Structure 1
Amino acid sequence: MRVVFERNVPIPMRDGVTLRANVFRPEADGKYPVILTRLPYGKDTAFSYALLDPVRMAEAGYIVVIQDVRGRFSSEGQYKGFIQEFDDGYDTVEWAANMPGSNGSVGMYGASYFAFTQWAAAASGHPALKVVTPMVAFDDGWGGVGFRNGAYEWGLAASWYLGAMVLPEIARTKKDSPDFPLLFGRLVHDADHLSESGYFELPLKDFAPMKRADVLPEFFHQMLENRYSDAWRAISIHPHYDSMQVDAHLIGGWYDVFLKSTIESFVRMKKLGREARLVIGPWTHSNYGNGVGDLDFGMAANSNFLDLKYDPTALHQRWFDARLKGVENELAAEPPLRIFVMGENKWRFSSDWPLPETVYTPVYLTSGGHAHSSSTDGKLTMGTLPSENSADNDTYAYDPGDPVLTNGGNLLMTPLYPPGPKDQTTTEAREDVLVYTSDVLSQPLEITGPLKAKLWVTSSAKDTDFIVRLCDVDEKGRSINLADGVVRMRYRNSFEHPELIVPGEVYEIEVDLWATSNVYLPGHRIRVQVTSSNFPRWNRNLNTGASNEESAEFVTATQTILHDANHPSHILLPVIPR
């Protein structure tokens, strides 16, 4: 089938602003479903073609629309951030449903920001929008895009703002200014030096690159609001799920910064009785290959040849064929959940999340009081409570001036802080990192599902952070991170109503490590790290009760982890029986 391509097709919004799109359509007369994506990164860039080949989809009998969102690249208007995508999403779906050649049915696709534009359009409730395919998507600001249990996702915010948003915006809005070469050059310099210097600036309200650029200041400050604000509540998808009329095929990664949102969206949609499917690979936010971090998961993990069967376009097409055209294909016979089990490096199907056969098993932290670094006496015991004689606790000093540097994980940052599974040797050698390790396993142990840790802690500070990380230690002693989580103590009970802590008082806290799927092979060991910083991924807690946004003052805190019979600190593993 021959394909017609149209560039910069105008699409009017309700307020008179014109957005523009590229359109790929079959040349043959007829009525076809429309597949739409809306992105801020440029409809004429590689971003718009990475997940789906519009020519192949048009040849298969679809109209494909790739649109620049408001205020970006070829579209008119002023960019206002995520909030604009609700009304603009509705208006674009309305246009797509009634465009020449459309049969009135619309589906959407895209990753990250242009996965959020799918949820925003679905939240608007247009009846023509039938299906969405969000990949590595967030649905709430407090679930990884802005905050993680109260800790600000500073590494993501600064790098995304400078690199993905401001550089194109300054080129768009100030290209005719006589100062443009100087402004653009300074911004490139700031982006290039973010890893080594910019991340470390305090207070954040004076973040020099933002002030020098003077572009999208409202958007930057909206991202920076270190509280449960109206701006973040307004863009949350959570209040809209009940009214959505779409089916959803979600795609995520075990090391993606939006993993929790992806899983929760699947669970919510399934409970509402919608057709919901989920694929989770061993991927990061932007790497869907087989080589991730320090590991190679094998060719079957590569999304370009997923499970040695599908490329990304084919994966999308079978979903759209089934839901927009009513084609009977193999999708109907497959369980809704397809996940990659690391360690064994195999795909598996399941009917639900968490897996119905899960056995939640506590693994307890113990030591003789010297769990600092991997060579000392921190131990993990599975299913056995600490004895009454296990009264030794572990204490360390957390100095915000010398934080534990980010080393892998669910990241979206500058290249000097790569995401994914990384060797933790350097991190575990620090005196402010407690390390607890199990005995060598004689049998394979699969953990697949949500991960939580419960700790009893004290601090000398008014506010501080506690971070827990789960690792897999191989026969050579290499420790690879699987998942981690943080609690900012002022938000331990409520995001909306923060409370400082009383220095020296014991607090029971729960740390959400999100989820993983991994088989600990025979000869491997389970390891848990406990510390108080993961910077610059999460902004440093200054230990004073003051905000990074307003203050540059900090103090060192004395942190204690209790692990006796009355305070059985542990991590709860989702064990899958074999």
Structure 2
Amino acid sequence: QKDAPTTESWYDFPDLDSDDQFDFFLKTGPLSNLDKYYDETNEFWTQLKEHPNYDEFWQSRGLIQHLENIEPAVMVVGGLYDAEDLYGPWETYKNIEKRSNNYNTVVFGPWSHGDWARNKKRQAVGNVYFGDNISDYFQRDIETKFFNHFLKGGDKGGATGLPEAHVFDSGSKEWNSFEQWPPKKAMKASFFLGKDNALTGSPSTKYDAEKFVSDPANPVPYAEGKKMVFTPRKYMSDDQRFAAAREDVLVYETPVLEDDLTLVGDIMAKLNVATTGTSADWIVKIIDVYPDDVPNTEETEEGVEMAGYHQMVRSEVMRGRFRKSFERPQPFVAGEKDEVFVKLQDVLHTFKKGHKLQVQIQSTWFPLIDLNPQTYVDNIFEAKEEDFTKQTHSVFHNSKIEFSILIE
């Protein structure tokens, strides 16, 4: 602890022998081997190890449950590609809306962490360019109007001129305003994971399964680039063609769309699965497959083509042990069918005519998510090398992804 201001850092970054994050963490092995970098003097690392489940220790430190009876006006601002906090802004807005009676509005733009507070002419996340002066527009026409109304003597009881929800459509690349979030004009729809890589509107009459081998020694990377970075950001819009080519990634997609299709609000994947092991992770990715005539932009990285690009729109992981409870984990029963629900955070994305909607299912996402041993252990921080085993996973054809589709 410091008892006076200082210009010296109170921490040191570990001196690593590699710039390749994938290679470094794979060679490191089980999480317990990271103790050489983070010992008991690192309070947060120690807390994670001692409380691997959502027990009373973490429950008592949560913030969302305290968001009630809020009186000041609130504008919740978030980035649709905020790798550091996508859950927080959505849950903050939704919980204030449910449990308070104040003025509460939400704005989501095509930003990574903090981009709404920066000014740059061309707004992009990774290879995907969204438009010009998007942060400037928000600061000038949305944020300033909010503060002028509530802090500079405006009629606090009168209309602000702002919408309830102002959200950027990351597919059509334009702002949309709504009277509530999620919007009233939305229709529930389910897409089933069918045979022959098909994403269809009706389930197969035979509930067969697709199988794949998940090998902790050869995990699916979360991004094609493996350079060591402090905070991975661009992966949230990265090209997923590299993953689609792997045998341990299941791919399902619609035919080429004949009309625009706009997904709005949260997404729920309801997977019916089985595994030969007793533990497994399940990753679901929603992907916009571009047609072959999309040109590159100045943001397009060398070696990447936007023609046929597989843009990740939303993604999430469910560590299988927590499929029934984050507080009380449970192993899978080897060979038995089970349910795993994966909730993906809200989107507003138009899959344009000529594009395809794709879903990828996998069980590793490394090293964004640490390796699951695939053999159940009570505390993954105590897993040993021999606990990490190759297993075969199954995803049944009556698995489905539930969306809400925006209607005119």
TM category (shorter chain) comes to 0.7 to 0.9
> What residue number does 1:233 align with?
59
TM-score (norm 2): 0.84
Q: How does 1:105-144 map to 2 (within 5 A)?
A: none
CA distance in 2, matches of 1:426, 1:333: 45
1:226-280 Cα shifts (integer Å, max 9, x gaps) = 2113432232113312254433211111122322221121111122212111110
1:418-441 Cα shifts (integer Å, max 9, x gaps) = 333111111110000000111111
Identify which range, 215-224 or 524-533, moves more after superposition.
215-224
Could you tell me how far 1:204 is from its partner in structure 2? Answer: 2.3
1:218 is aligned with what amino acid? Answer: E
Q: How does 1:172-211 map to 2 (within 5 A)?
A: 187=13, 189-190=15-16, 193=19, 195-200=21-26, 201-208=28-35, 210-211=37-38
Q: How does 1:140-539 map to 2 (within 5 A)?
A: 168-170=9-11, 187=13, 189-190=15-16, 193=19, 195-200=21-26, 201-208=28-35, 210-211=37-38, 216-224=41-49, 225-257=51-83, 258-271=85-98, 272-288=100-116, 290-300=123-133, 302-303=134-135, 305-306=136-137, 310-311=139-140, 316-328=143-155, 332-367=160-195, 377-382=196-201, 384-386=202-204, 388=205, 390-407=206-223, 414=230, 418-476=234-292, 477-539=308-370
Could you tell me how far 1:71 is from its partner in structure 2? Answer: 4.4
Structure 2: give runs of 5+ residues left out of the alignment: 293-307
Judge conservation of contact 2:322–2:328 (CA < 8 Å) in 1: yes
Structure-2 change in CA distance of 1:73 and 1:332 (3 Å): farther
Judge conservation of contact 1:284–1:419 (CA < 8 Å) in 2: no
Judge conservation of contact 1:451–1:512 (CA < 8 Å) in 2: yes
Aligned partner of residue 68 in structure 2, secondary structure: helix
Judge conservation of contact 2:164–2:181 (CA < 8 Å) in 1: no
1:391-443 Cα shifts (integer Å, max 9, x gaps) = 432000011111111129xxx96367733311111111000000011111111
Structure-2 change in CA distance of 1:221 and 1:319 (3 Å): farther
TM-score (norm 1): 0.60
> What residue number does 2:381 align with?
549
CA distance in 2, matches of 1:417, 1:238: 24
Q: Report the structure, 1 or 2, having the larger helix content.
A: 1
1:501-522 Cα shifts (integer Å, max 9, x gaps) = 1111111221111121111111
Could you tell me how far 1:356 is from its partner in structure 2? Answer: 1.0
Aligned residues: 377
Larger Rg: 1
CA distance in 2, matches of 1:275, 1:326: 16
Does 1:562 find its partner at 2:396?
Answer: yes
Aligned partner of residue 15 in structure 2, secondary structure: helix
Structure-2 change in CA distance of 1:529 and 1:71 (3 Å): farther
Structure-2 change in CA distance of 1:355 and 1:71 (3 Å): farther
CA distance in 1, matches of 2:384, 2:90: 37
Judge conservation of contact 1:443–1:521 (CA < 8 Å) in 2: yes
The one of the two structures with greater contact order (alpha-carbon pairs below 8 A, sep at least 6) is 2
CA distance in 2, matches of 1:317, 1:73: 36
Structure-2 change in CA distance of 1:73 and 1:513 (3 Å): farther
2:404 is aligned with what amino acid? Answer: P
CA distance in 2, matches of 1:522, 1:209: 52
2:130 is aligned with what amino acid? Answer: F
